[in-house]
Structures are given as structure tokens and as C-alpha cells.
């Protein structure tokens, strides 16, 4: 796909520019395996300059205290994102391999509108509140609680939903008064670079408030986690990398937000008729195909009643084999390519392990009829239990593992038998029963009978090794704030 004037600039201290040594790295279209452009490959000096500019902007400007000005600037950014939507959608499909249809939802339009919600929240937020006057230790005191920005935020983002995750981090971080250094994944630098361009050209943000460094090297992200000038690291990615981020941030005791992996379970209870079984199974199967299964909160384990196992597997296979699969530029496509050859090899390794451990493919298992592109067919794996590798580890591909359960207690046991706790779902003809099961599943979000938990005003995050903290909603906004208690004596 040809792009005119592809973004190829860092954004540091209010200036769009190339890497300091002029180095670039290639951007590959996942659907064609063709190089479609380049991005600047930031040097250590570039990263240092970005951190220094963010530090200076926080310490020496009124950005952190001028709430109305921040709201103005973020509204300007929102307008720019809306006005440039067509180009950004095309860029997302080319760089990420995201189906064009999804850019009208979670891959672009939804996160852009979420930025507006965050901005409105910042405008009405109570930055200062009062406690009742008191006399601790006999001293009359007036007590005020102030909410203040943390400082300089390092936002380190993955490649799967870059618009959504970039904006879910920089929106509340900037709205709360922080300055930001955004470091995107090496697979998806253009989208982040375009954010820098839009800020530079369409907003009044002061130099240094927002910075973007793109790099082919993961060491750039590591530097952001250790630098003492960074006050908070906001990271989304794998659990293994999250552990490394947390360890690296520990010596300087930075605040850390981590949104990590998932292996979520969709539970179908045994009280539904054929229609209800089809709805619960079909929803899980369809969702795993969206963006080729490259989503941390997708329900990639399907737990169904043992007595209806074969029926459920057949429904899942029929659903996934009928999902539009292929060219992400086609309007009807739901399941496009994986992001890279490396990711396809990873997914295919899990498929091989499933067969080696006694599983079978009810549908899929191959690459499909494509000469080029990092495609893996929507795949249903049957005949495994929850001890299998494909049932326990995050695959990040269009792969659904169907597991039998022996009633509500057993379903809850299987769902919770995981190091992760990000999301889940329960389907039942009895709403009260479904809600009782949902209450026992240890996850940060869970859908009951088709409910949708994803929304700008709803907190998102996980239990256990799925992360620390919450993104989006008021809780996500407050991740980027400190709390200060001001106690004033001499009052009566």
C-alpha cells in the first residue's frame, strides 16, 4: 500500500526531526511483507534529549498547574485526530495489518472519542477537596487534599492496538498535568510519530510536554524504566517484559502501571437451550478472530458443559471458519494478518504443541491460501484440558481452545487455574446464576450474557500476573496523580 509523505520524524522538545545520526529502520506491511517506508531509529542521545525536555517542561512551565490550558490543548488534539481520521485509519491498516472495519471502532474511532471523555473529566475534576476541620493532638487544623501530577511519564506501548493504547496512556497523563515520553513498539512507530506531528502542527502544547521516540531497539524502553528523571512508567505488553519493567524501576522507586497478558475464559453454563449455547460459543469464537486474535483481553479459552462438548466444538468451528479472513483493506475482513513473521512463528509453535499434546484442529491450523502476508487461519483446538501449553499460555493469534467442564464449580476452578486474571465471560439462561459465577472468577473485567465492559469511563486492568493498576475511567486518570494533604493550623 503506497502512502504519501509517511511520517518519519521524532518529536522532541517541540521539534519534529530525524534521529541524531540519521538512522532509520524499515516498516513492513503485515499483509504483503513489503517494506512500505521507514521510521527514525532514535539514538541514546535522542532518548536522553526527550527525557530532559520532558523534565524541563514539567519543572519549569505552568503545564502541571494550568488545568484550563491543558484542556484547551487536548481538545485541539482531539479535533486534529478527527480531521485526520481517514489518513490515520489507512495508516493503521498498513502498519498494523488491522482490518479497515476495525479502524471504525477499537482501532481508531473509539480511542479518539475516549480522548474527548478524558478531557471532559479533567475539566470537571475536583483537584482540591476539603476534609472536615479537626483537632488532631489538640491542634485545630484545616485539612485540604490536593491532587497533583506525578511528573514525567514514560509511556511504553505495544503494537496490537497502538491508537487505543497510545491515547489511553497519553490522554490521562497529559490531562492530569504530567509531561510524557512516548516510546512505541518497533513494529508500529508511524502511528506514534503521527501523534507527535499532530501535536506539533495543531496544538498549543509547549515544547517538551509531549515527546515521541521511535526505535528498532528495545533497549530504548529499558532506558526509560531506569532513568531517575522519569517518575512513572506506564507499560502495556507481555507479562515477562512487565516483570523486567518493574524490576528496572525498583531502584528509583518509580510508580509503575502495568497492563499485561491474559488467557481469559468464556464460561458457558449447562442451563441454556441450543440458541443460548450457540450465542455463548459463537461470541467467544468470533471475538478471537478480531484482529487475528492479537488482543490481551480476548477470551481464548472456551469452557463448555461436558455433555455438550461436541456440539460446542462444532459451533465454534463453524463460526470461525465463516469469519471473513484475509486482506485487511477489504471492508468486510475481520481476521487479517499477524503483525510479523516472528509472531506467526510463535503462533505456529503453539499449534504444533497442541497436536503433540493430544489436541486436534476442528478448523484451521494452517496459513490459508496466501502467497504473501503473515496469515494464520482462525483455529479451534479441541480435546485438550487446562494443563496443555496452548490452554495456559498467551498465544496472541486467532486460536480458541475448547475445554470441557463438569458444572459451575468446575468451570470456576478451570477459569481461575491460570497465572492471569484479565477478563472473562459467563453465559447462562439464569442471570442470577451467571452473576454468581462471574463474582467468583478472579479477573479485572468480565462480561455476563453478552455485556460489553470496554468503554472510556470504565476501568480496565487485571488481577494476578495480568497487571498492576487500571487504565481508562476515573481510576485510570488517577493513576497519573499524586495525593497531597495540606494541614493548616491556627483555625477555629
Which residue in the list 259, 394, 471, 479 is annotated as catalytic? 259
Task: Specify whether the CB–CB gap between 141 and 489 falls below 8 A.
Answer: yes
What is the sign, positive or negative, of the torsion defined by CA atoms of 277, 314, 326, 7?
positive
Q: In what order do the strands lie in the sheet with 255-259?
A: 15-17, 10-12, 210-212, 179-183, 152-156, 232-236, 255-259, 467-468
Q: Tell me, yes or no, if 73 is annotated catalytic.
A: no
Q: For residues 465 and 264, give the distance between their C-alpha atoms in angstroms, rounded to a whole number.
A: 12
Which residue in the list 73, 289, 296, 335 is annotated as catalytic? 296
Q: For residues 38 and 28, give the distance between their C-alpha atoms in angstroms, rounded to a whole number.
A: 9
Please give the grid coordinates belonging to residue 78. Answer: 482531539
Q: For residues 408 and 170, give the distance between their C-alpha atoms in angstroms, rounded to a whole number.
A: 41
Q: For residues 397 and 298, give the distance between their C-alpha atoms in angstroms, rounded to a whole number.
A: 10
Q: Tell me, yes or no, if 148 is annotated catalytic.
A: no
Q: For residues 111 and 83, give the distance between their C-alpha atoms in angstroms, rounded to a whole number.
A: 14
Q: Which residues are catalytic?
A: 259, 296
Amino acid at each position: 500500500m503506497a502512502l504519501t509523505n509517511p511520517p518519519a520524524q521524532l518529536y522532541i522538545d517541540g521539534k519534529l526531526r530525524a534521529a541524531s545520526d540519521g538512522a532509520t529502520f524499515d516498516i513492513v506491511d503485515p499483509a504483503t511483507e513489503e517494506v512500505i517506508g521507514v521510521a527514525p531509529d532514535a539514538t541514546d542521545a535522542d532518548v536522553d534529549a526527550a527525557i530532559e525536555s520532558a523534565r524541563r517542561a514539567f519543572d519549569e512551565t505552568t503545564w502541571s498547574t494550568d488545568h484550563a490550558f491543558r484542556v484547551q490543548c487536548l481538545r485541539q488534539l482531539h479535533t486534529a485526530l478527527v480531521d485526520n481520521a481517514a489518513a490515520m485509519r489507512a495508516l493503521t491498516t498498513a502498519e498494523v495489518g488491522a482490518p479497515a472495519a476495525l479502524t471504525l471502532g477499537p482501532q481508531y474511532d473509539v480511542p479518539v472519542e475516549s480522548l474527548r471523555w478524558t478531557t471532559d473529566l479533567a475539566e470537571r475534576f475536583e483537584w482540591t477537596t476539603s476534609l472536615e476541620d479537626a483537632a488532631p493532638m489538640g491542634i485545630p487544623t484545616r485539612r485540604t487534599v490536593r491532587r497533583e501530577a506525578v511528573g514525567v511519564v514514560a509511556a511504553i506501548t505495544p503494537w496490537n492496538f497502538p491508537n487505543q493504547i497510545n491515547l489511553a496512556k497519553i490522554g490521562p497523563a497529559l490531562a492530569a498535568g504530567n509531561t510524557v515520553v512516548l516510546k512505541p513498539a518497533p513494529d508500529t512507530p508511524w502511528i506514534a510519530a503521527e501523534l507527535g506531528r499532530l501535536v506539533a502542527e495543531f496544538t498549543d502544547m509547549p515544547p517538551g510536554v509531549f515527546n515521541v521516540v521511535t526505535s528498532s531497539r528495545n533497549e530504548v524502553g529499558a532506558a526509560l524504566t531506569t532513568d531517575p528523571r522519569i517518575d512513572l512508567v506506564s507499560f502495556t505488553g507481555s507479562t515477562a517484559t512487565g516483570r523486567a519493567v518493574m524490576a528496572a524501576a525498583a531502584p528509583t522507586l518509580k510508580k509503575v502501571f502495568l497492563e499485561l497478558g491474559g488467557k481469559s475464559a468464556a464460561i458457558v453454563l449447562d442451563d441454556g437451550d441450543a440458541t443460548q449455547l450457540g450465542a455463548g460459543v459463537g461470541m467467544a469464537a468470533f471475538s478471537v478472530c478480531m484482529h487475528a486474535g492479537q488482543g490481551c483481553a480476548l477470551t481464548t479459552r472456551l469452557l463448555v458443559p461436558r455433555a455438550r462438548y461436541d456440539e460446542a466444538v462444532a459451533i465454534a468451528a463453524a463460526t470461525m471458519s465463516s469469519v471473513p479472513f484475509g486482506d485487511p483493506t477489504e471492508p468486510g475482513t475481520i481476521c487479517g494478518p499477524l503483525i510479523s513473521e516472528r509472531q506467526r512463528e510463535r503462533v505456529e509453535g503453539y499449534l504444533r504443541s497442541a497436536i503433540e499434546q493430544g489436541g486436534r484442529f476442528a478448523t484451521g491450523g494452517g496459513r490459508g491460501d496466501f502467497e504473501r502476508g503473515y496469515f494464520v487461519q482462525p483455529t479451534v483446538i479441541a480435546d485438550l484440558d487446562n494443563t496443555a501449553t496452548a490452554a495456559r499460555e498467551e498465544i496472541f493469534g486467532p486460536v480458541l481452545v475448547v475445554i470441557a467442564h463438569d458444572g459451575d464449580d468446575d468451570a470456576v476452578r478451570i477459569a481461575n487455574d491460570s497465572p492471569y486474571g484479565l477478563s472473562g465471560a459467563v453465559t447462562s439462561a439464569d442471570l442470577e446464576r451467571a452473576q454468581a459465577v462471574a463474582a467468583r472468577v478472579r479477573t479485572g473485567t468480565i462480561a455476563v450474557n453478552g455485556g460489553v465492559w470496554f468503554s472510556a469511563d470504565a476501568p480496565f486492568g487485571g488481577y494476578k500476573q495480568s497487571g498492576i493498576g487500571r487504565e481508562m475511567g476515573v481510576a485510570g486518570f488517577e493513576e497519573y496523580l499524586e495525593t497531597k494533604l495540606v494541614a493548616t493550623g491556627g483555625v477555629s
